[in-house]
Structure formats: C-alpha cells, structure tokens
Structure 1
C-alpha cells in the first residue's frame, strides 16, 4: 500500500463544504476535553486527590494539547486560503474564537493545578484539605 503524504496545504483542497464541519467537530472535541480537565482540576488538593487523579490530569492535558495542535493546523490552513468563500471564512473565524477561548480556560486551569500541586504534596497527607468526610477514629 503506498504512503500518502498529507501536507497542511492539501487540507484546503479536499472539500470546501467539509472544512467548517471538520473544524466544528474538532473544536467540540476540545471543549469536551477541557471540560473534563476542569472537572478533574477541581479535585486537586481535596479529599479525592490521588496519584491516579494526577495521572488522569496529565493524560487529559496531553490529549488537549495534541488536539489543540491539530485544530490550530486545521484552522490556520483554511484561514490562509484566499479562495475560501466569505460564509465559510466567517465560520472558521468563529471557530478560531471558540478555540482561543478554550485554550484560555485550559491555561487558567493548568496554572491552578500547578499552583495547588506545589502547595499540596501527595507524600504528606497532613497538607491535604480536610473536608470532614473522614471516618471517626
């Protein structure tokens, strides 16, 4: 089977009608991954904080970063296309705004996780936030 060489510029030539739909699907995926990261980040430093949670945060962050790279490549390749019809260009620009907003939320949550993780060590359980949900001794 021959190898297919997919270049950034080739995406624009594929199909004009599919570009906004593909971009929307990618941005929707990023929104879901960022929402998942945000939910997991709210547990850091609390009674549900664990090594497993931190590993899930890392995996989710990596997934979001890879997806963000793919979206950036997809959207920029189409926005650079001068032959893109005005309607599709507006859709792509709106997708870019949604993409940028998602990245800002992810950045804020990553900073919060980094800050709380540096304060709350999993090695020292005394520094965890006590919520009163522990069993009585």
Structure 2
C-alpha cells in the first residue's frame, strides 16, 4: 500500500516575515514605477514630485528593514538547511527588486532635474493641456511647489543611500543568483513576474483615480 505524503510543515516564522516584507517592497516598488512614469507628462506637478520624494524615503525604509531582517537570519548559526535555502532565495529576489526600484528612483531624479517644477504662480503647469481646475480644497500650490523643489534634491540623497545599501549587500552575504534553487523557473523571471503583477495591480488602482488616470 502506497504511503500518503504527510501534511506540509508550516513555514518558519522568520521566513514568513521576510517573505511578507519582500512582498510589501515589491508592491511598493511597482506603485513607485507608475508614479515615476508621470514626471514631465501632463500629470506632472507639485503633488507628484512630493509623492516621489516621500516614496523615495519610504522605499529606503522598506529596503533597510528587509535587509537587516534577512542579514540577521542568514548570519545566525544553527539555521535549518531548508530555511536557509529559502532565505537565500528571498535575498536574491530582494536584490533584484532593489535594483529595479533604484533604477526607477534614479530615473525620477534625473527627470525631475530636466523638468523642474515651475515657480509657484497660480495655474502654472509643466504641460499646458487647456484644462483648468480650482484645485483641491485646502491645498496650497505655493506650498506644494516649495516642498516639491526641496524634494528634487532629496531624491538624490535616497538614490545615494540605496546605492550604498546595494554595495553593502554584495559584501555582506555571498549568495550568487546561480547558486540558489528557484521555486519555479529561474529567479530573474520570477522576480520580473512578481514585479509585473504588482505593477498591473497599481495600474488598475490608478485607473479609478482621476488625478493619475491621464498617465496611461
């Protein structure tokens, strides 16, 4: 009589937390790419620049948190082989996701320098579409423009700090992508598929928002 396989063992708590943190970073990075696509378009403006600046800071926080968590687990002694293999896979996916986010952050920074927010004159926009608006109640265009101008400089700081984190990761843990067994397909395709899924999810959410609908 053939023996039936037993129930699958529950996932290690540390692995589950790391996977959830990676999932949150992928979801955030996909949404940030959608925002970065609006720089220099008719959807651009002080609010978008401020969102990009705040997004850079948030992305750094998520990346640093996942980095510290994975590093602590991977350098811990006595970790099960199965758990370590899964943590290494998450580490490689994290490296790929961080690289994608860093590219989008750098692109947003360069475009923000090429297309600076104009002076805070009422009704001034980067692209004139012929559509006028009274704006959001309680929103100050002058205040938003000032914050956006400051944010353009801060984007460069987030780029530098994330690039520094990326270099540190290469030295701290020696986990080459070709040495990690993927759960399905190859790791590059897996990371791209995960990122694409959340990007489409962010696009669907944005379609319901009149402010970002014009980004396409």
Aligning the two structures, in what range does the TM-score lie when normalised by the shorter sequence? Answer: 0.7 to 0.9
Q: Which of 70, 77, 81 is 2:76 aligned to?
A: 81
Deviation at 1:129, TM superposition (A): 5.7
| Structure 2 length-normalised TM | 0.51
Alpha carbons 1:34, 1:106 under 8 Å: kept: yes
Query: Match for residue 112 of structure 1?
Result: 107
- State the number of aligned residues: 117
C-alpha separation in 2, matches of 1:42 and 1:62: 18
Q: Deviations over 1:6-44 (max 9, x none)?
A: xxxxxxxxxx82010000000000001111111100000
C-alpha separation in 1, matches of 2:63 and 2:82: 24
Is the partner of 2:116 in helix, strand or coil?
Answer: coil
Q: Which of 37, 40, 55 is 1:42 aligned to?
A: 37
Query: Match for residue 9 of structure 1?
Result: none
RMSD of Structure 2 on Structure 1 (CA): 1.9
Map of 1:7-86 to 2, 5 A cutoff?
17-86=12-81
Instruction: Detail structure 1 runs of 4+ shifted over 4 Å in the superposition.
Output: none
| Structure 1 length-normalised TM | 0.79
Alpha carbons 1:23, 1:74 under 8 Å: kept: yes
Q: Deviations over 1:37-86 (max 9, x none)?
A: 11100000101101100111111111110011110110000000121101
Q: Give unmatched runs, 5+ long, in structure 2.
A: 1-10, 132-216
C-alpha separation in 2, matches of 1:80 and 1:122: 45
